[in-house]
Amino acid sequence: MAKRSGIFDMIGPVMIGPSSSHTAGVVRIGRVAKRIFGKHLAIESVQITFYNSFARTYEGHGSDRAILAGLLDFKTDDARIKNALDLATQESISYTFKAVGNASIYHPNTVKVEVQGNGRSVEVIGESLGGGVINIASLDDFKADFSASNHTLIIKATDERGVIAFISNILAQENCNIATMSVSRKGKNDLACHVIEMDSGIPQITMDYIRHINWCKELIYIPDIDF
Amino acid sequence: MSFLFDSFEGWKAIIEEKKVSLFQPVIEYEINEKGSEEQSILLGLEKALDVMFDAVDSGLTEDMVSRSGMINNGAKKVYNHGVSVLGENFQKVIARALAAKEVNSCMGRVVAAPTAGASGIIPGVLYTLKDIHSIEKKTLVEALLVSAGIGLIIDNKASLAGAVGGCQAETGSAAAMASGAIVYCLGGDFLQVSNAVGITIQCMLGLVCDPVAGLVEVPCVVRNASAAAIAFSSAQIAMAGVDAVIPVDECIEAMGEIGQSMEERYKETALGGLAATKTGKALSKKILISDIQILGEEEVLPEKPSNKAC
């Protein structure tokens, strides 16, 4: 059964208008892309593609400002969202927007964010599901499917036997419950991506430990995207 | 287990059984379902109230022009106009509901109550009620709890989303929540609150969601004003003890039934109603992005995830 609404779904959320799916949801997707890229890394350039239903209305709904606001790590109720185009330019971020009308394999409200800077590049595809709720469909061409409303752990690792068991065992030792988990890989023995949504966070030392294991190529931790 | 806000009948039964005020089960629901604490619930609602009132004030003082240009400082014009068609308070409630909703259309900060498209109604109503009757903040917060309870029941029995139930689900639900809040603030009992909600829904039934150019501007902004007026007219009727005849739970079910049978073009798709008029279409052509790439059949995007190198 779907999660029951609460009082603050009726009287809330506090948000920047005009639309929860075209503004608040898009800010969240931008923020996830920023966190995956690196919270403290400077973004140099970003290409943003709005698909399907987003393609025609992204300007009118301010989704262009919303996605840049997310990439500037603003929250959904930040009054600066309105000025995000100028603020991104001030931060020396160069940006381009593109609209694609008929990407039928994508959700109606889909946005693709390609971020570059410091020699690093990240590609995130996000879906705005309504009411500000999002799904990150993929990252760097790996299937992801997470909402970013829990604690999310993303681990890129070599495709080896026992990695999933190892990770879940460590999380169990941290008394951390796994809500959802998805694993996809480029190919056999190639790179695999583990996306784990957890009910609680894990300490820095545990993340550092996983990072030092030789199969771990990258570890990203994103706490609840609204905090 | 707490009462799950699936009907007004159940809400009535629980407050009669426990001999509590009608906002009490709403707090208990949130504590049980979300694990919140009473203090943080009340603080959260106080904050929401502040944001609502700030939105009214900024809509009446700051420049409110939307990106499309369709919204252009309407609230201020109404507030300051020399002719009051029905009296000063009427003029003010209309202007205030417009103001908060214009702030939403112009990328300002609002409370979605219950949705962003209906974010002017409860602020306009409560601001005016406080202004006329000097209602204390504590009572206004309790009224928001009552509104939330009403919203939860509509959410369970029908829908709050324009894409599911049309405009009646958004501005209709907000008007119903506002009307219940008015009656609560003025000391009405459960029956009067139920009647106000039922009568409001009766007045809002069937309203379609037909936004011009797909933007939350026309007719959404003016409908926030009319919904606020209907919230007051229904509260006036209900306070006098006039019966809604059709019980509120059944009114909400009717709203759900109408929403289900409404054609897709009237549910936020911008394909019917005002959006499909000659002028609506012309505006849409002028405002919306026209530089859209249409993919050929062969290149309708790679399978995801692809095997492209990382």
The answer to whether B289 and A55 are in contact (CB under 8 A) is yes
Over residues A15-35, the mean pLDDT reads 94
Helix (H, G, I), strand (E, B) or coil at B192: helix
The answer to whether A152 and A179 are in contact (CB under 8 A) is no
Q: What is the pLDDT of residues B183-219, one digit of tens each?
A: 999 999 999 999 999 999 999 999 999 999 999 999 9
Lowest mean pLDDT among B20-34, B165-179, B286-300: B286-300
Looking at beta carbons, which residues of chain A come within 8 Å of B116? Answer: 15, 17-20, 23-24
Q: Do B152 and A142 touch (CB under 8 A)?
A: no
- Rounded to two decimals, the ipTM of the complex is 0.93
The answer to whether A38 and A120 are in contact (CB under 8 A) is yes
Query: A61 pLDDT exceeds 80?
Result: yes
Interface residue B147 vs chain A (CB under 8 A): yes
Query: B241 pLDDT exceeds 60?
Result: yes
Fill in the DSSP letter of residue B72: B
Query: A17 pLDDT exceeds 70?
Result: yes
CB-nearest to B148 from A11, A130, A191 is: A11
Q: What is the pLDDT of residues A74-92, one digit of tens each?
A: 999 999 999 999 999 999 9
Closest-CA residue of chain A to B295: A102
Residue B254: exposure state from Cβ atoms within 10 A (0-12, 13-18, ≥19) = middle
Mean pLDDT of chain B: 94
Interface residue B45 vs chain A (CB under 8 A): yes
Instruction: Assign domain A151-222 to its CATH superfamily.
Output: ACT domain (3.30.70.260)
- Terminal-residue alpha carbon distance, chain A: 27
B-interface mutation test, from A4, A7, A123, A190, most B Cβ less than 10 A away: A7
pLDDT of residue B302: 52
Query: A53 pLDDT exceeds 50?
Result: yes
Q: Do B117 and A19 touch (CB under 8 A)?
A: yes
Domain with CATH 3.30.1330.90 in chain A: 12-140
The answer to whether A85 and A64 are in contact (CB under 8 A) is yes
A-interface mutation test, from B2, B218, B293, B297, most A Cβ less than 10 A away: B293
pLDDT of residue B80: 98
Domain with CATH 3.30.70.260 in chain A: 151-222
The answer to whether B210 and B189 are in contact (CB under 8 A) is no
For B110, the token pair is: 């609002």
pTM over 0.80: yes
Query: B20 pLDDT exceeds 80?
Result: yes
pLDDT of residue B310: 38
Closest approach of chain B CAs to the CA of A31, in angstroms? Answer: 18
pLDDT tier for residue B300 given thresholds of 50, 70 and 90 = low
Q: What is the pLDDT of residues A122-152, one digit of tens each?
A: 999 999 988 788 999 999 999 999 999 889 9
Query: B106 pLDDT exceeds 70?
Result: yes
Closest-CA residue of chain A to B111: A14
Looking at beta carbons, which residues of chain B come within 8 Å of A7? Answer: 26, 29-30, 34, 41, 44-45, 145, 148, 152
pLDDT of residue B298: 61
Label the pairing between strands A94-100 and A45-52.
parallel
Burial B205-218 (b: 16+ CB within 10 A, else e): bebbbbbbbbbbbb
Run of H or E residues at B138: helix B137-157
pLDDT of residue B261: 96
pLDDT of residue B13: 97
* Residue A199 to residue B275: CA distance in whole angstroms: 44
Closest-CA residue of chain A to B303: A105
Instruction: Assign domain A12-140 to its CATH superfamily.
Output: D-3-phosphoglycerate dehydrogenase; domain 3 (3.30.1330.90)
Mean pLDDT of chain A: 93
Looking at beta carbons, which residues of chain A come within 8 Å of B48? Answer: 8, 11-12, 14
